[in-house]
Amino acid sequence: MTHYLLRRFISIIPVLFAVSTIVFFIIHFIPGDPIDLILGERALAADRAQLAHALKLEEPVLVQYGYFLKGLISGEWGTSIFDNRPVLELIKDNYGATVVLACAAMFVAMFIAIPAGIIAAVKRNSIWDSIAMFIALVGISVPNFWLGPVLVLIFSVHVGILPISGRESWTSLILPAITLGTGLAAMLARMTRASMIEELKSEYITVARAKGVSERNVIFKHAFKNALNPIVTIVGLQVGTLLAGTIITEKVFSWPGMGTLLLDSIRRRDYPVVEGCVLIISFAYVIINTMADCLYKAFDPRVRL
Amino acid sequence: MRIWTFKIGAILICVLVLIAIFAPLIAPHDPNEYNLALKFAGPHSGFWFGHDADGRDILSRIIYGARISFGIGVLVVGISLLIGCALGLIAGYSGGWVDQFFLFVSDVFLAFPSFLFALAVAAFLEPSIVSVIFILSLKGWVTYARLVRAQTLTLKHREFILAGKAIGVSRWRIYFRHLMPNMIGPVLVNASFGMAGVIMIESALSFLGVGVPVNTPSWGAMIDQGTQYLLIAPHMSIFPGIFIMLIVLGFNFLGDGLRDKLAPRGK
Amino acid sequence: MKMRPAVNLCVALIVFTSLAACKEAYLSERKTLEVAIQSGPITLDPRLATDAESEKICELLFDGLMGKNGQLNIVPNLAERYEQIDNITYRFFLRRGVLFHSGRPFNAKDVIYTYESIMKGELTSPFRESFSPIKAIVAEDDFTVRFELKEPYAPFLNLMTFGIVSQEDAKNLGDRFGREPLGTGPYRLVRFVPESVVELEANRGYFGQIPKISMLRLNVIKDDNIRILKLIKGDIDLVQNGIPPLLLPKVLETKGLKMRSDEGTVMTYLGMNLADKILKGAKVRQAIAYAVNRDEIIAHRFGGMATKADSILSPLNWAHPEGLRHYDYDPVKAGQLLDEAGYPVQAGGVPQLRFTLSHKTSTIKERIDIARMIAHQLKQVAVDVRVEPYEWGTFYRDVKSGNFQLYTLSWVGVTEPNVFFDVCHSSKFLPHGLNRGRYKNPRVDELVEQARVNMDQQARKTLYAEVQRILLEDLPFIPLWYEKNFVVYRKTLDGVSLRPDASYLTFVNVSKD
């Protein structure tokens, strides 16, 4: 098992390397000159040259790539072309917001989905099951860039309770978390149901029931605990989609996270920041995915490693 | 109960496909006709979904928009399927370093943040439907490829394949006449969910401003425009949103139902 | 059984929400003017600030030797008075007893440092070229500075509105100065969180008008809907220009809000590439001008909050002449001109067209909507226009490199008519000049060259009047409209006003009951 883990983690490295390389080249070949964007139109040729030299933008792309790799490994991810702060500092300022949002969304999702899934499983094939799964499918189908504004319209405008945006009080987290969490909730509800059904069919459950354990304990103390494993790993696998979803949710709610940073720096051709963001996002995605994958394999002995 | 998931899905999709195909006949008005005096007007007779910021009829735009959604969906899924199946078959069947290389490449594609890529491509190329399709196909193929590969890996050791190899059946024939038919089921299920996903992503791209060209009545672009005027004309975003939901729902139900049909163990 | 935790959670939510609301109410008791702005400033160092937001905030933090008053006339500021010794020499007498926000006293060395740090290239500043007419700056004593120019330069005083930084503080802080600015202005910086908020506090020792409200908080709210909702809800007291005009009526339905509006100086224009084979004919360009129905666009895209334009300079500008030519909407005339220019409607083909043009814009929604309307109007005269929105970096590069046929942009903050030199002179072609359309007219060249060095304002006025008339005949670009400035604010505020350049200096006079 450790052998497997080690192999998997080592195999991440070439993937990350390939991703950073592709991103680097794409960014550099997108038309648009960061120097123009910084200095504006009236700048003297001499100043452009000076800035270009300082940013090492005059040299051939391959040479710049060399610098990039060197910086990557040494942990010096460069400074933002735009406002001169180290890329890592910018990322540090922003990733917290995204993590908070993602966690809140997951919390919301689990809070709704798990009870729903359990009920659906326990009352299999009844009207409750149908309703729950129907709603779940609907949940996956609602676009979150639509849901966001609709929720804002209803709760902030008409009903007027919740604050609308930004990150002041914790209450401003509610609407974005709900928006982002809905898709996840739907997926999770279905998984919980499927997983619970599998568990409830197992022999040890029949034994427990035969022994006279109360139905409530059967469900919660036995089946659910075991069903939890695959549920958790599915959550891990969905993190990728969650991260992608935050870009939109952050935009809709003006939530100052990584998605916002990424979009802004692409717009400004702030190469170092774009690279930094993409790398962090990809790394996070790959690592979490791999961990989830490993967990999945670990908890499901039926799957061969 | 489960059968009706499939049925609802199928009916929804059929209705929407018909709307897409017969758009010019069904749409009550020209989707591009400006009518500034009525801009932002809500639903009223003759214009059941109201007007947008230029006074254009939202219902007609939604009807034509079905063509965009299906068009892009079909093309993307089609391309992804072709590439994915081909690569998956080759990787699974060949094994060895071909397979390892394939795994590496697909990992890289999976790890790549597609929104960033969409933004980048949109900067290179003029905003167009082609570029959107291109972007979406790039990540799409991986799921099918991996699925096909997994199936191929298990099937290739089965007797009928080994027998075929022994008699000297060509590789390609093995792919198409022997392996593929056994994998169609799960592939179709994934294709169905894939359509739903593609349509969602295309809408999201339009919402971020890197989707289809200006004036194209893509539902996502309509929601984007509608969000600008949310406070005075909520109908502009509500109706397209409902339709996105319906088409995605339809494909999800369809896929769900198909999966149940193909899994005889039943849940 | 399962319900209880859920009920508890609901109760907790309600309690917390009400507590949060109470806290917010308490905080607003302190005197702070809450303003919402659309984007965050990039730097607060006036020597580096090129975007509108940064420039506006720098105006609150820094003073120049000269300043612009409410009518945008140049008046003494940090300099008490000045003398023009001859055509190329000016002497400024500095105000005494002025302190920087850091407490250091202001004197001549700060002036010299500010200009030299840009001119000598110590700081890579985008303004270096603008100061190239200056040959030398000499401190005659602690409170007198002499500027020597290379040749007569009429717009010189405009250069003197540049914010002065403190030499010691700027040197000490180095790169950090843009985040921790120290000037002499009516406000001092308390807190700057990029893309989030800029908190300013009144400078009690200011030599001019001290702001009436002690704290000014500029909240960066990028999303239009959210900005509006916050204003409606009362979290924000004032928004200047940051509301889509079509939503104004809805916003003003809120009882506690009021609006003021006035003419502005932002001029939006349709740029054309005169090197393009279709657009190089003046008749074609004039036809396009006749085919655009600006009244319709102003009514339906601006809700009336714009006025038709006829020049880069706003009508409020001293150099703007009377009686400039109008291109009123006349599609019939447009069609005739196009026929004459050799572009009749092509027979056959559906729809029948004369030619196709591409119109590039940035991805700002308002720009795209306007471009679409123009396309719609041009279609009526059988000209097909493809609207192509490009992401800003790409768009800007295309404009600068001449890779376009039509595009729309705006001139912001133009007060000095020397702008015609930068925009219309044939030496200012791309990629580093502002003559993006590649316009060349020897007579215009002559006029702007003369006006640049002629020190007599009346003479300049006549010269520029002729320039503007010629520009309307040649039409290298089509002036579309001047956007009005407006400010929406709580009724409880007093003293709210607007300047034509939408400067934030008007906040100094605002008070809260």
Could you tell me which of C175, B119, B127 has the C-alpha nearest to residue A268?
B119
Inter-chain residue contact B237 with A262, CB threshold 8 Å: no
Query: Would the pLDDT of A226 be above 80?
Result: no
CB contacts, 8 Å: C229 with chain B: 231
Cα–Cα distance, A173 to A257 (Å, whole number): 12
Do B229 and C246 make contact, defined as CB atoms within 8 angstroms?
Answer: yes
pLDDT confidence tier of residue A55, bands split at 50, 70 and 90: low
Does residue C43 or residue B128 have the better pLDDT?
C43
Question: B36 at the C interface (CB within 8 A)?
Answer: yes
Chain C contacts of B39, Cβ < 8 Å?
Answer: 300
Tell me whether residues C178 and A46 touch, CB distance under 8 A: no
CB contact under 8 A, C221 and A32: no
- Asked if C244 lies within 8 A of B228 by C-beta distance, the reply is yes
If you measure CA to CA, which chain A residue comes closest to C43? A83
Q: What is the band of C489 on the pLDDT scale with cuts at 50, 70, 90? A: very high
Contact C256/A at CB under 8 A: no
Question: Residue C181, by phi and psi: left (phi above 0), alpha (psi -120 to 50) or beta?
Answer: beta
Residue of B nearest to C296 (CA): B36
User: Which chain A residues contact residue C20 at CB under 8 A?
Assistant: 169-171
> What is the sign, positive or negative, of the torsion defined by CA atoms of B179, B183, B264, A202?
positive
Average pLDDT, chain C: 89
Across residues A257-267, what is the average pLDDT?
A: 79
Say if C154 is an interface residue toward chain B (CB within 8 Å).
no
Please give the average per-residue pLDDT across C7-19, as a whole number: 60
Is residue C122 within 8 angstroms of chain A, CB to CB?
no
Least-confidence region, from A265-274, B54-63, C104-113, C450-459: A265-274
- pLDDT of C1 above 50: no
The alpha carbon of residue A70 is apart from the nearest alpha carbon of chain C, in Å, by 25
Distance from CA of C205 to the nearest CA of A (A): 31
Q: Between A48 and A276, name the one with better pLDDT.
A: A276
pLDDT for A11 equals 76
Domain positions in chain A: 93-264
B119 chain-C contacts, CB cut-off 8 A: 391
Q: Which of A16, A30, A286 has its CB closest to that of B123?
A: A30
Taking the C-alpha atoms of residue B70 and residue C187, their distance in angstroms, rounded to an integer, is 57
Q: Is the pLDDT of residue A72 over 90?
A: no
- Could you say which of A129, A145, A281 has the minimum Cβ distance to residue B204? A145
**What was the pLDDT predicted at C7?**
62
| pLDDT greater than 50 at residue A304 | no
Separation in Å, CA C497 to CA A243, C59, C259, C302, C500: 45, 17, 10, 21, 10
- Quick check: B205 and B132 in contact, CB under 8 A? yes
Sort out which chain B residues have CB atoms less than 8 A from C225's CB and list them: 227, 230-231
Q: Is B237 on the interface with A (CB under 8 A)?
A: yes
Q: Does C317 touch chain A (CB under 8 A)?
A: no
Residue of A nearest to B195 (CA): A141
Chain A: touching chains (3 or more CB pairs < 8 Å): B, C
Nearest chain C residue to A119 by CA distance is C2
What is the radius of gyration, based on Cα positions, of chain C?
Answer: 26
Kindly tell me the sign of the dihedral angle through the C-alpha atoms of B132, B138, B143, B147.
Answer: positive
Question: What are the 10-residue block averages of pLDDT along chain B, 267 residues in total?
Answer: 76 92 91 91 90 94 91 88 86 82 82 65 62 74 83 74 74 69 77 84 77 83 87 90 88 82 56
Q: How are the residues of chain B apportioned to helix, strand and coil, as percentages rounded to the nearest 5?
A: 75, 0, 20
The verdict on a CB contact (< 8 Å) between C247 and B231 is: yes
Q: Does B117 touch chain C (CB under 8 A)?
A: no
* DSSP strand pairing (C79-86 vs C215-220): unpaired
Q: Which two tokens stand for residue B76?
A: 């993307």
Is ipTM > 0.85 here? no
pLDDT of res. C479: 95
**Choice between C114 and C349, residue whose per-residue pLDDT is larger:** C114
Q: Which residue of B has its CA nearest to A18?
A: B108
Interface check C128 vs A, CB under 8 A:
yes
The 10s digit of each residue's pLDDT in A4-35 is 777 777 877 888 788 778 777 776 666 556 66
Torsion angles phi and psi, residue C501, rounded to 5: -95, 10
For position A170, what pLDDT does the model report?
67
Superfamily (CATH) of domain A93-264: MetI-like (1.10.3720.10)
Q: What pLDDT was estimated at residue C431?
A: 65
Mean pLDDT, rounded, for A237-247: 74
Give domain limits for chain B.
2-21+57-266
Cross-chain residue pair A278–B208, CB shorter than 8 Å: no
Of A32, A50, A162, the CB nearest to C397: A32
CB contact under 8 A, B116 and A266: yes
Q: Which residues of chain A does C129 touch, with a Cβ-Cβ cutoff of 8 Å?
A: 42-44
Higher pLDDT, C127 or A224: C127
> Are the beta carbons of B241 and A141 separated by less than 8 Å?
no
What amino acid occupies position C407?
Y
Q: Does domain B2-21+57-266 have CATH number 3.30.70.920?
A: no
Give the strand pairing for C238-240 and C32-37: parallel
Query: B interface mutation test: which of C228, C233, C363, C403 has the most B CBs within 10 A?
Result: C363
Cβ pair B104:A18 closer than 8 A = yes
Chains in contact with C, counting 3 or more C-beta pairs less than 8 Å apart as contact: A, B
Check if C194 contacts A (Cβ < 8 Å): yes
Put simply, whether C368 touches B (Cβ < 8 Å) is: yes
Amino acid at B144: Y
Residue of B nearest to C249 (CA): B232
Inter-chain Cβ pairs, chain A and chain B, closer than 8 A: 113
* pLDDT score at C26: 45
Q: Which residue has the higher pLDDT, C509 or B253?
A: C509
Q: Hey, which residues 83-142 in chain B have their CB within 8 Å of chain A? A: 104, 107-108, 110-117, 119-120, 123-124
pLDDT of residue A65: 79
Task: Indicate yes or no: CB of C225 within 8 angstroms of CB of A264.
Answer: no
- Which residues in A100-168 belong to E strands, given as ranges? none
The 10 Å CB-count burial string (b at 16+, else e) for A6-24 is eeeeeebeebbebbbebbb
Confidence grade of residue A45 (pLDDT, cut at 50, 70, 90)? low
Tell me whether B238 touches chain A (CB under 8 Å): yes
User: Using a CB-CB distance cutoff of 8 angstroms, which residues of chain A are in contact with residue C229?
Assistant: 152, 156-157, 164
Minimum-distance CB partner of C42 among A83, A149, A267: A83
Buried b (16+ CB within 10 A) or exposed e, A167-183: bebebbbbbbbbbbbbb
Closest by Cβ to A143, choosing from B111, B119, B241: B241
The reply to whether residue A149 touches residue C126, judged by beta carbons under 8 angstroms, is no
Residue C30 has pLDDT above 70, yes or no: no
Q: Do B209 and C363 touch (CB under 8 A)?
A: yes
Please determine, for residue A266, whether its predicted confidence score (pLDDT) is greater than 80: no
Q: In B, residues 174-213, which contact C (CB 8 Å cutoff)? A: 209-210
* Strand boundaries in C25-143, DSSP class E: 32-37, 66-68, 74-76, 79-86, 89-94, 134-141
Assess whether pLDDT exceeds 60 at residue C2: no
pLDDT-derived band at A302 (thresholds 50, 70, 90) equals low
Whole-angstrom Cα distance, residue C504 to residue C41? 13
Residues C237-255 have a mean pLDDT of 93
- C434 band by pLDDT with thresholds 50, 70 and 90: confident
Q: How close C329 comes to chain A (CA, Å)?
A: 33
Contact B127 C388 (CB under 8 A): yes
Read off the pLDDT band of C467 (50, 70, 90).
very high
Which residues of chain A have a CB within 8 Å of the CB of B234?
A: 153
Q: What is the pLDDT of residues C357-410, one digit of tens each?
A: 999 998 788 899 999 999 999 999 999 999 988 877 778 878 888 889 999 999
Provide mean pLDDT across the span C203-209.
Answer: 92
C128 class by beta-carbon count within 10 Å (0-12 exposed, 13-18 middle, 19+ buried)? buried
Asked if the model's pLDDT at residue A164 lies above 60, the reply is: no
Q: Which residues pair with C478 in a beta bridge?
A: C270
Structural domains present in chain C: 7-43+181-258 (3.40.190.10), 52-175 (3.90.76.10), 264-483 (3.10.105.10)
Please report the pLDDT score of residue C204 as a whole number: 92
Rounded to whole angstroms, the Cα distance separating B156 from A75 reads 46
In chain C, residues with a C-beta closer than 8 Å to the C-beta of B231 are 225, 228-229, 247, 250
